[in-house]
Structure 1
Amino acid sequence: MGIYFSDFFEVDKATLEAYGAFNVSLVNDLPLFIDPFLLFDSKNAIYQSLHEQIIDYLKFLRDVSATGMLTQAHIDQWFRFAEVKQNWLGFSRSGNSGSGLGAKFANTLHKNLHHIFRDFGAEKITKSSHLEKLCLLSEGVGRDHLSDFVTNLIKQFLLEYTQTFAKNHLRPEFVRTVGVNRVAFNQDAKRWVPGRYELPFINGDYVILTPKDMLTRDEAWINRGDLLDGIEDVYNSIPNQQLRNQIDSYFMSRLAEGATDQDRKRLAAQTVEQFPVLLDHFIRAKEDAASEAHRTSKRKVADTQAQFVDEVSRLVREHLEGTAFYTGGNSFTESMARVNFLKNVIEHKDGWRIFYINDRPITQEAHLQLLYRLTWFASRMDVNREVNNGRGPVDYKVSEGSADKTLVEFKLARNSKLRTNLQNQVEVYEKANDTSSSITVILYFTDSEWTRVKKIMQDLKIDKAKNIVLIDGRSDNKPSASTVKYP
């Protein structure tokens, strides 16, 4: 019953833990990524060298951008990268295949280095240059791009790290010598060169392991959201009083009374574009709070492991493995059987713990969807997440051939758009996917959420619908939801 690296390659979880690698799922990406700030501030000299390597490559891109003679072929070769899907980390909606760094990212990076960040690598306010600076100015360059870019730039290290583990801890039948493209950058030839490595190999592809202490979740330590939310703190920290007053006057004179949070963020973004020096002052503040970056990332990684690895493993081992959960049927009956089986385990057999971390229930529907996806590891059915067939994405399409398809939607009861979703969504999806089978699963955590859902269903006259399943995730009158506490 394979879900995780340790399952597929028959290695003890404690061995992975001792090596420092995250035990990734080989069913679906988990929401972690490498934060380059953790490399910069690391006490590990190898990590510091990796960060310098990243900055050196960006300096190369800065210099070639400054020539003004780059062709599209140059941009494609030096600025564009495919996703390194073999690390099974990131933001893929289904499996482990993301979009990678396409033309938009490449052109934005080229433009920023050529025009706005011509002094990249020669900053005077910050302790070091940072890749994240390039992601602060443009809303179109986000955490997924940062993740893909960093992973590509340190891929040689990750491959060597994985190869060492494979040689020392895996049986020979689980390891294969594979050729990998674009492993290292040859400065003299100005091109990326391939390499060959002995790596874990399964289902027609190799797997890359990643050290836990370079990972984080949600946002990098240096991120655009914190910059825009704290714009006033940033410019008030500037020692130059004249500049500080100038920025304050620009921002406050344009801030309308009664402005919403979105209004403030839009104005903050305009202010940063008008005064790019704010970027360096923001980054310096982040550098000065480096110890908090490590504490925060360590907690986030531990939370992710507890929620998506430890609790899912426990749920499968104690309640699902070897049961009727894995019997066959058509797509609708099998999907409904799994939902009902999970409902019973969640409500009556401590399965509800999977939705809690540190006594707090999950707040994102994406996490609910991912947790459900991880339980589909032993089925002949094709399970696709976020399928978009022209009328918007649906959480899952479960199918066996073209004639047998069922759509499964997962919702949290706290979703402010739940009424609209229930009224319109599934009918539209059914027409778009040419199927009449659909299931909607709603998870609630409080009495008030349950009351709200029941009222919506009664108002819409669907309270008797058999394809709408409510799951009680309340921890009231149950043992403590917290399985592990993290500092």
Structure 2
Amino acid sequence: MARVQNPTLFSAYFGVSPQALAAAGLIDPFLDVDMPLFIDPVLLEKSGNKTINTAAMGRFRKHFEILVRMLNISKAEGDAAWKAARRQLDLSEPPENGLGYGGSGRSGNSRPEDIREAILRTSKEIITLGASDPEMISLMGFFEQDVGPDTISDMTTTVIIEDLAAITEAFCQANGLPLYSSEICASHKLPKYVDPQGRSAPIVLIPEDIVRELPIANDWSDIERAAMENARIRERVNRLLGGIARPTVADRKHALRGAALGSQANFDFFLAAVKENVGSYDPNLDALGYYRLKAIVANGFPGLKQPTRYDLKLGPGEIMRVVKDTIDQFKRHVEAGNLWEELWIGGKPKKERASQLIYYAIADAFCKANDLDISPEANMGGGPIDFKFSSGYQARVLVEMKRSGGTAVHGYEKQLEFYKTASQTEFGVFVIIDYGDLGNKLNEVRRIRDQRLKQGERASEIIVIDATQKASASKRK
């Protein structure tokens, strides 16, 4: 399970102002963990960065025009033209941009060949309809089960890496950051990050307005939201889904394929609808809590220093005290302060990940403020996040956090117990973020805990945090 501990921001490592990055319209990335964002090629021409909307956009179109041309003249899979198209489709994961589902570290990897072949086949199908816009490649995540936004993002990064490197070099030169030659781009020098193990890697910076949030794997709505904004496409998709009560990701993608690939006109309409409705990740809405995480990591958090010291040598019980105090800090700022505002967006609860990342940042800051030789580790992969606090090999405490509208009962009964077994610990805390839709779930979770205690088993503690919308702190009496 990929984990991250003590995340390091680009601005902190290189001693550059976060405001300078923001003024340049660039993301201040973590250097040792991937961010849950992806580059959407549909956003390239909309970017406010001239290098992106001209040079990068032109490079992207030219690159995939070659792919389209090769597929157009290909007579059979595997012939010379098909192989030429295949060479244009590099799906290796570039570690330099720090985006994606990775956890600890940012090392890249390559995707299976069958995914590349699936993209080529679908592209060929679209070309056979008569469509020729090279931006068709941007839409593969809509149609192919194993092609996600991260795949498209990595493919795009590889194509426009020279432009991203130029932007990075210019920013670093303007701010006096050291630059080095690298293998990824011979024409531009890049800053270099050296991790605690002495391994070095070049870094490229990404403009804020060309990224969107990565969807959780089982959340189809984020994959197709832009296209479904169009009533005509929405009606076609719903008709193709027929009487399926709970459509899967595969069902949705199959319906989208049917709605878009019926004719050249349908596809062109589909592509135009996506380009019209897609938008970049909004730091002001911060649906993932990513910018709040960065702010806490960079600036700390008020009121975390405790009057009494902790003695971690006392074992799991003392670590449990630390953990409960970190949760209490989070709970107090949500319930009595204004931190609840960070958990809502447009009158609806933000994704579960937002509360998890903000808690992680507060817990990490808490340990540093109290000079503790311990910090939380968080699984930052594509699925739910769990936390582990440990000191030495034996003393471990796990924290699992669920929103009230989600699978709280399953999370307590099964998921946390699975994590505890995997981590070889009996100590766990289950946190429920209550947005006002908890219903009878709390009673069921408590019943499971009481039953375990009656059987003489160690049962994980339960903490509920009231995250319902409140009046501002200044208006509360």
Shorter-chain TM range is 0.7 to 0.9
Residue 244 of structure 2 is aligned to residue 262 of structure 1: no
What does residue range 5-404 of structure 1 map to in structure 2 within 5 Å? 5-26=10-31, 28-42=33-47, 46=51, 47-63=53-69, 66=74, 68-69=78-79, 78-94=88-104, 96=106, 101-113=111-123, 115-118=124-127, 123=131, 129-171=135-177, 175-181=178-184, 183=185, 194=186, 197-203=189-195, 204-218=200-214, 225-226=224-225, 229=228, 233-234=232-233, 256=242, 258-260=243-245, 262=247, 265=252, 268-269=255-256, 271-272=258-259, 275-277=262-264, 278-287=266-275, 289=276, 293=278, 296-297=279-280, 300-304=282-286, 307-310=289-292, 313=295, 317-319=300-302, 329=312, 332-333=319-320, 334-357=322-345, 360-362=348-350, 364-375=351-362, 376=364, 378=368, 380-381=374-375, 383-385=377-379, 395-404=386-395
Paired AA for residue 106 in structure 1 = R
1:414 pairs with one of 401, 405, 411: 405
How far did residue 442 of structure 1 move? Answer: 1.3
Structure 1: give runs of 5+ residues left out of the alignment. Answer: 184-193, 237-247, 482-487
Q: Distance in 1 between matches of 2:84 and 2:353?
A: 37
Report the CA distance shift for 1:480/1:165 in structure 2 as closer, same or farther (over 3 A). farther
How far did residue 301 of structure 1 move? Answer: 3.8
1:441 pairs with one of 422, 431, 435: 431
Report the CA distance shift for 1:431/1:466 in structure 2 as closer, same or farther (over 3 A). closer
How far did residue 380 of structure 1 move? Answer: 4.3
How far did residue 164 of structure 1 move? Answer: 1.4
Report the CA distance shift for 1:361/1:70 in structure 2 as closer, same or farther (over 3 A). same
Report the CA distance shift for 1:436/1:230 in structure 2 as closer, same or farther (over 3 A). same
Q: Distance in 2 between matches of 1:79 and 1:31?
A: 23
Paired AA for residue 232 in structure 2 = D
SS in 2 for 1:468: strand
Report the CA distance shift for 1:224/1:305 in structure 2 as closer, same or farther (over 3 A). closer
Paired AA for residue 180 in structure 1 = E
Would the aligned equivalents of 1:307 and 1:356 in 2 still touch at CA under 8 Å? no
Report the CA distance shift for 1:347/1:205 in structure 2 as closer, same or farther (over 3 A). farther
Report the CA distance shift for 1:393/1:90 in structure 2 as closer, same or farther (over 3 A). closer
SS in 2 for 1:436: coil
How far did residue 281 of structure 1 move? Answer: 1.9
Q: Distance in 1 between matches of 2:127 and 2:379?
A: 41
SS in 2 for 1:297: coil
Cα RMSD, aligned residues only: 4.3
Q: Distance in 2 between matches of 1:223 and 1:461?
A: 35
Report the CA distance shift for 1:158/1:170 in structure 2 as closer, same or farther (over 3 A). same
Return the TM-score normalized by structure 1.
Answer: 0.73
- What is the CA deviation profile of residues 124-145 of structure 1, one whole-angstrom value per residue up to 9, with x for unaligned ones? 7x6x744313333213212111
Q: Distance in 1 between matches of 2:234 and 2:446?
A: 52
Partner of 1:189: none
SS in 1 for 2:182: strand
SS in 2 for 1:177: coil
- What is the CA deviation profile of residues 301-353 of structure 1, one whole-angstrom value per residue up to 9, with x for unaligned ones? 43239943257625953426665799673574343442233233433344434
Partner of 2:218: none
Paired AA for residue 414 in structure 1 = G
